[in-house]
């Protein structure tokens, strides 16, 4: 922190190139990270990873808050548009720390001047679709957390993944399987030229067990078990991990002989994990307020920047009446893992009411202004905006028996033969390696395929569905919610899904831990169909372990 502050003071006082503008805003953020990861397959260890790094990111702005070098993308400067980063030494040598910060600041300043000049030139030939400032104001804030957790011995993590992956030695129907785990301890340091600073702990632990099989017709069926915690002890202490993995294997075996669903249009009830994943995959990205940059590209080049469809729906109804959504970063106990004391721009954590009685009131933002939202909600996490703890609530909750009764009432109104209950959804972050020769495409929808779903009939009996893919899931789907249960499911995931180390495939922590609290949800109408894509042939020979 002393090296960062000293170099920041020198930058503010002295950094200026000839007659060009000096920076009006500078921030340094350093992530001092210790992490380890390991994986195992069929009870045998695969490569492990243990490393420590200190990564500096420099944000430097020239111009002023109403018009600066940000919110701009030029094809001529595409190689200069990425954030300025540098690896810092692991030793606390203040001279070398300052030297690396100085060099990174110099690079960031030159890039900022180039971007500002190009942005001004672009505005001479283009008209901005909306007049917005480039940086919203924020009160200076100082925040400090004392050091807390350290990493466990690697042998402890290896022992658990070996044991869980070894459970598949009792499952001859599973073609691909594995267990992966990673633990991270991070101290994040931040200072900016407005007087804000913080030191924050960002610990996380992660476990993922995946399995994949094939039905007789070649259909690829997969599932996963995932667990998160603020420390490895919170994962290792979960006594139900073995039971969850065994249950996943049994469900995969049952799905092999189950019938695939044909085209279905009708009511769907999402229970437990499926309801939470649905909200995480479909609604959470629509709660994020991102701003499309000004793009400087030749007329013959199409350059479309994706935009949140909810950005133009502030004040409009986006959910059924009686439903509300809140993001609350202050929650940091009782299973909520997405909370923090301060975000990555030193804005204090708070609660944001996003949807009230079905009406969209605001979006999650950073200090990068968007139309219709004043100021930051304190949700800068990494390079952009991300939720923290997302809570969906209903004004009237029903018991499970009442939810089933409502489902059957909708089935009766349609004079349909059955309704559908979905209890598990897939997640793109937890896909196993494809079976040999597989060329199956992913889901065509914003929602991953259902991995545990049932047809439910008026007499109460259920029939397992092999797999189901969603079709035509649009922004209006949440207006079709008919009812919600009186008890929520608390579920944690990475947002966005984690990346992987290029060489080892060990999951990384490029995403952010986000917890969602969601009741079971009954929808009036959704479209389900058999998963599309080419079906690979099963392996020619049997699994060597089970052939002996």
241 domain residue, yes or no: yes
CA–CA gap between residue 100 and residue 108 (Å, rounded): 12
Q: For residues 188 and 115, state if they share a domain.
A: no
- Beta strand residue intervals within 426-539, DSSP E: 450-456, 462-465, 469-471, 481-495, 512-529
- Using only C-alpha atoms, what is the Rg of the chain? 25
Q: For residues 127 and 182, state if they share a domain.
A: no
Q: For residues 229 and 253, state if they share a domain.
A: yes
Q: For residues 116 and 11, state if they share a domain.
A: yes
Both tokens of 500, joined, read: 């992987």
CA–CA gap between residue 34 and residue 28 (Å, rounded): 20
CA–CA gap between residue 512 and residue 429 (Å, rounded): 12
Beta pairing partners, 53: 33
pTM of the model: 0.91
Q: For residues 95 and 159, state if they share a domain.
A: no
Domain boundary among 257, 291, 306: 257
First to last CA, the chain: 61
Cα-Cα-Cα-Cα dihedral of 383, 70, 109, 82, to 10°?
40
Domain boundary among 144, 171, 202: 144
Q: For residues 130 and 235, state if they share a domain.
A: no
Give the angle subtended at the CA of 306 by the CAs of 304 and 311, to the nearest 5°.
130
Give the angle subtended at the CA of 493 by the CAs of 379 and 46, to the nearest 5°.
125
Q: For residues 135 and 35, state if they share a domain.
A: yes
47 domain residue, yes or no: yes
In three-state secondary structure terms, 251 is helix
The answer to whether the CB of 235 falls within 8 A of the CB of 258 is no
460 domain residue, yes or no: no
Where in the sequence is the domain holding 46, given as residue range(s)?
Answer: 2-144
Q: For residues 59 and 92, state if they share a domain.
A: yes
335 domain residue, yes or no: no
Both tokens of 254, joined, read: 């049952």
CA–CA gap between residue 231 and residue 38 (Å, rounded): 16
Nearest one of 74, 60, 68 to 134, comparing CA atoms = 68
83 domain residue, yes or no: yes
CA–CA gap between residue 313 and residue 287 (Å, rounded): 11
Domains held by the chain: number: 2
Q: Kindly provide the b/e burial profile for residues 483-505, where b requires at least 16 CB atoms within 10 angstroms of the residue's own CB.
A: bbbeebbebbbbbbbbeeeeeee
CA distances from 482 to 267, 268, 320, 485, 532 (A): 9, 10, 8, 11, 29
The answer to whether the CB of 403 falls within 8 A of the CB of 183 is no
Give the pLDDT score at 525. Answer: 94
291 domain residue, yes or no: no
Question: What is the 8-class DSSP label of residue 496?
Answer: S
Note down pLDDT in tens along the chain; length 548 residues: 999 999 999 999 999 998 899 999 999 999 999 999 999 999 999 999 999 999 999 999 999 999 999 998 887 776 666 789 999 999 999 999 999 999 999 999 999 999 999 999 888 876 666 789 999 999 999 999 999 878 999 999 999 999 999 999 999 999 999 999 999 999 999 999 999 999 999 999 999 999 999 998 888 999 999 999 999 999 998 989 999 999 999 999 999 999 989 899 999 999 999 999 999 999 999 999 988 888 886 665 655 666 788 988 999 999 999 999 999 999 999 999 999 999 999 999 999 999 999 999 999 999 999 999 989 999 999 988 999 999 999 999 999 999 999 999 999 999 999 999 999 999 887 766 544 434 333 444 689 999 999 999 999 999 999 999 999 888 889 999 999 999 999 999 988 754 433 333 344 445 789 999 999 999 999 999 998 877 888 888 888 998 86
Paired sense of beta strands 197-201 and 142-144, if any: parallel
Give the pLDDT score at 441. Answer: 38
The answer to whether the CB of 467 falls within 8 A of the CB of 221 is yes
CA–CA gap between residue 235 and residue 228 (Å, rounded): 6
102 domain residue, yes or no: yes
Q: For residues 105 and 20, state if they share a domain.
A: yes
Q: For residues 28 and 134, state if they share a domain.
A: yes
Residues found in the chain: 548
Domain boundary among 195, 223, 257: 257
Q: For residues 122 and 164, state if they share a domain.
A: no
Q: For residues 130 and 158, state if they share a domain.
A: no
204 domain residue, yes or no: yes
The answer to whether the CB of 186 falls within 8 A of the CB of 55 is no
For residue 408, give the H/E element and its range: helix 400-414
Give the pLDDT score at 299. Answer: 61
Give the pLDDT score at 379. Answer: 97
- Beta strand residue intervals within 415-505, DSSP E: 419-425, 450-456, 462-465, 469-471, 481-495
Identify whether 496 is preceded by a cis peptide bond (ω within 30 of 0): yes
Give the pLDDT score at 499. Answer: 42
């Amino acid at each position: 922190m002393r090296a960062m502050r000293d170099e920041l003071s020198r930058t503010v006082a002295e950094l200026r190139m000839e007659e060009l503008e000096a920076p009006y805003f500078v921030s340094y953020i350093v992530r001092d990270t210790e992490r380890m990861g390991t994986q195992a397959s069929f009870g045998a260890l695969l490569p492990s990873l243990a490393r420590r790094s200190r990564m500096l990111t420099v944000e430097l702005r020239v111009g002023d808050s109403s018009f600066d070098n940000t919110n701009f993308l030029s094809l001529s400067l595409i190689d200069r548009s990425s954030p300025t980063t540098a690896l810092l030494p692991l030793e606390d040598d203040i001279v070398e720390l300052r030297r690396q910060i100085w060099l990174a600041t110099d690079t960031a300043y030159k890039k900022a001047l180039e971007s500002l000049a190009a942005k001004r030139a672009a505005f001479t030939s283009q008209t901005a679709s909306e007049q917005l400032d480039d940086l919203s104001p924020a009160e200076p804030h100082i925040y400090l957390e004392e050091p807390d957790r350290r990493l466990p011995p690697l042998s402890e993590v290896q022992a658990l993944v070996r044991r869980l992956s070894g459970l598949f030695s009792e499952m001859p129907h599973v073609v691909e399987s594995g267990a992966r785990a990673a633990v991270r301890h991070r101290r994040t340091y931040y200072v900016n030229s407005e007087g804000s600073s913080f030191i924050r702990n960002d610990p996380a632990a992660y476990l993922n067990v995946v399995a994949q099989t094939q039905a007789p017709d070649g259909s690829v069926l997969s599932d996963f078990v995932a667990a998160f915690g603020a420390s490895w002890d919170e994962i290792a202490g979960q006594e139900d991990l073995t039971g969850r993995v065994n249950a996943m294997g049994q469900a995969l075996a049952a799905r092999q002989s189950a019938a695939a669903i044909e085209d279905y249009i009708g009511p769907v009830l999402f229970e437990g994990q499926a309801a939470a994943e649905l909200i995480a995959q479909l609604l959470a990205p629509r709660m994020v307020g991102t701003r499309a940059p000004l793009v400087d590209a030749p007329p013959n080049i199409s350059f479309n920047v994706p935009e949140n469809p909810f950005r133009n729906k502030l004040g409009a109804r986006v959910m059924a009446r009686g439903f509300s959504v809140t993001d609350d970063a202050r929650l940091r106990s009782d299973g909520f893992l997405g909370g923090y004391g301060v975000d990555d721009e030193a804005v204090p954590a708070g609660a944001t009411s996003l949807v009230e009685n079905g009406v969209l009131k605001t979006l999650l933002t950073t200090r990068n202004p968007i139309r219709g939202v004043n100021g930051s909600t304190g949700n800068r996490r990494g390079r952009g905006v991300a939720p923290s703890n997302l809570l969906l609530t209903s004004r009237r909750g029903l018991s499970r028996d009442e939810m089933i009764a409502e489902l059957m009432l909708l089935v009766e109104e349609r004079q349909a033969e059955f309704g559908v209950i979905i209890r598990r959804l897939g997640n793109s972050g937890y896909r196993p390696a494809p079976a040999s020769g597989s060329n199956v495409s992913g889901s065509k929808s914003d929602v991953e395929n259902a991995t545990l779903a049932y047809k439910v009939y008026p007499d109460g009996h259920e029939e397992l569905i092999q797999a189901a893919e969603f079709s035509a899931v649009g922004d209006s789907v949440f207006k079709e919610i008919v009812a919600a249960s009186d008890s929520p499911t608390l579920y944690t995931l990475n947002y966005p899904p984690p990346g992987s180390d290029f060489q080892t495939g060990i999951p990384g922590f490029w995403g952010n831990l986000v917890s969602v609290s969601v009741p079971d949800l009954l929808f009036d109408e959704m479209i389900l169909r058999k998963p599309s894509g080419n079906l690979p042939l099963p392996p020619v020979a049997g699994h060597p372990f089970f052939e002996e």
